[in-house]
Structure 1
């Protein structure tokens, strides 16, 4: 019998993933990572729901204390980034460094299993011609989570199963009801786990970064108002600036040295290109010459045509077909060819 370790957050998606594999005859073991204290889907409430699910399915349930790992790789990563005026993306970092890699290592060492599964909406296939494992968008484009999974290694992709990648969210809800799972009607998480646990990203960051007031200035340096700390702002932000102006103003840049938030009109937040670092190539090997791509610079933004130009030191320059709004250092740029995820990296700077 095939054995698979399923990552359980306590939500409906991971619950259905486990139940579906169980129904298909897999020897399923539930695994929940204890990431932090507080109410988040992946924490205390989630662990209780995950344990109850395993009781319903009559499968083993393991809890791994990953709080130190989460603190080092996510909390410190976020706080350090925001203090330097960038807006880090924790989810892809968490998937790589806290969840998938450590899950697979635990499954192998402690459970004698080299197969893991999660409730993420994405698809993985093997290309016999190239020998690479490829990632594709989920069938349900509204739920597709491949953007957050771009940083997974080939080793992980070779061992991971995404049972929900070929179905819609509504089909998942229907399956949960048919399976009689107690999580069938559980509300969907709308925010980062840290935001859910602390109420807002600002509240979370204020525990680590003392408010340091400074000026909000326009691009010529004219003072327009005051801010409570640059870590409260991100490029492209319009709301919450507290400035009266005849036209909408947006955050254009964050000047850490001067402790200033620089604002301008919407056109000033459109960028023709950006530089990306820490690249991870997924469905293809790293190219040596420029290639056409469709790139996303935020999870909910539409893919936009661009050209990727390889640089030294695992970096690349991305030239957009048309200037793109809200490109932000610290966020992920992820590029595709149709539904196939080619690779991704962290935005370093814009120009």
Structure 2
């Protein structure tokens, strides 16, 4: 049965209407089951994100929807995905940064285009299988984003850009559950293979060969010099897109002590190496900053921050700047800061906000 034109498969019933983003996997399938148990009238939809992708996700999500007895649609967002996620990924690498495509996909597709489409179909809410929670603060009249109950599965880092409107109209059924509980739910209902492994790679580069992907889209990259931070020549690199800040292995140079990529000089095509101490920084500038518990603050505030997914939090002070930017000053030296990645601010389990690291 073809499901590639967004056709209706099965009709569900109920009062509160929620459209779940389904992938055919464990988390999204269990999320629908939990919503139905809570009395929601659910539909399910899978996002087709690449025009040449295989239809496994469509097939598996459709089978789960059939077993659950819900409406099922396919949304073709391949054009939006190419522009907002894939092209952005390539351009960030070419400019010397290290992109985070999951953040952009959530911002523009899962909580942007998907929510718009759900509203067109008459759904009040969307739901996802993300491990994260939300709460409503009556005092401020704002929705709050909170880490998952299962801290090991928490995905709040990639959801810092959610707006108040998006939070108000999104449900996270998996947020209070452990992964083991979620697997039990899908096993009991025959909704998905409970042992199905989670994707560990970027969905549009399943083999993990980022450089090959970028070369196919932008052309062969020029070789150039590898130099120490003091200018000492060390050798030749294979193209700057093959390296990320913080990388130690696979650089192809020998030295008296371990060396790491600490910077890329894009204009002169130079890869810059340094010692571990040179990876440490005391501050950063973030752009496109989004705050969740409040509008832009009018004074600095203390919190903790992560500059990588599942990284240990670091204490810092955030100084709001003009043009939706912020300066983050760490209370102790911090590593793993890369242009293009996200810095996310926390107050305990609550997400204060975050932005894109500019430098």
TM-score range, shorter chain: over 0.9
Match of residue 74, structure 1, among 56, 69, 85: 85
**Aligned counterpart, 2:102:** 91
Match of residue 103, structure 1, among 107, 114, 117: 114
Matched residue of 1:326: which SS? coil
Check whether the contact 1:37–1:44 (CA below 8 A) recurs between aligned residues: no
**Aligned counterpart, 1:9:** 23
Matched residue of 2:195: which SS? coil
Structure 1 position 331 matched with structure 2 position 341? yes
Equivalences, count: 344
Q: Which runs of 4+ in 1 moved over 3 A?
A: none
Check whether the contact 1:104–1:114 (CA below 8 A) recurs between aligned residues: no
Matched residue of 1:18: which SS? helix
Matches within 5 A, 1:1-351: 1-37=15-51, 44-109=55-120, 111-196=121-206, 198-209=207-218, 210-349=220-359
Check whether the contact 2:25–2:192 (CA below 8 A) recurs between aligned residues: no
| Alpha-carbon distance in structure 2 between the residues aligned to 1:240 and 1:283 | 43
Give 1:107 shift: 0.9
Give 1:38 shift: 5.5
**Aligned counterpart, 2:7:** none
| Alpha-carbon distance in structure 1 between the residues aligned to 2:228 and 2:324 | 35
Of the structure 1 ranges 129-138 and 97-106, higher mean CA displacement relative to structure 2 is found in: 97-106
Check whether the contact 1:194–1:204 (CA below 8 A) recurs between aligned residues: no
Matched residue of 2:152: which SS? coil
| Alpha-carbon distance in structure 2 between the residues aligned to 1:238 and 1:37 | 36
Give 1:191 shift: 1.6
Check whether the contact 2:19–2:42 (CA below 8 A) recurs between aligned residues: yes
Of the structure 1 ranges 264-273 and 91-100, higher mean CA displacement relative to structure 2 is found in: 91-100
| Alpha-carbon distance in structure 2 between the residues aligned to 1:50 and 1:75 | 23
Matched residue of 1:207: which SS? helix
**Aligned counterpart, 2:3:** none
Check whether the contact 2:201–2:208 (CA below 8 A) recurs between aligned residues: no
Matched residue of 1:193: which SS? coil
When residues 208 and 27 of structure 1 are mapped into structure 2, their CA distance, relative to the original with a 3 A threshold, is: same
| Alpha-carbon distance in structure 1 between the residues aligned to 2:338 and 2:191 | 40
Check whether the contact 1:4–1:26 (CA below 8 A) recurs between aligned residues: yes
Check whether the contact 1:7–1:118 (CA below 8 A) recurs between aligned residues: yes
Give 1:217 shift: 0.8
Give 1:265 shift: 0.7
Check whether the contact 1:248–1:266 (CA below 8 A) recurs between aligned residues: yes
| Alpha-carbon distance in structure 2 between the residues aligned to 1:182 and 1:135 | 28
CA displacement, residues 166-203 of structure 1 (integer Å, 9 cap, x when unaligned): 1111111112112222332211111221231x442222
| Alpha-carbon distance in structure 1 between the residues aligned to 2:123 and 2:192 | 27
| Alpha-carbon distance in structure 2 between the residues aligned to 1:37 and 1:246 | 49
Matched residue of 2:236: which SS? strand
Matched residue of 1:195: which SS? coil
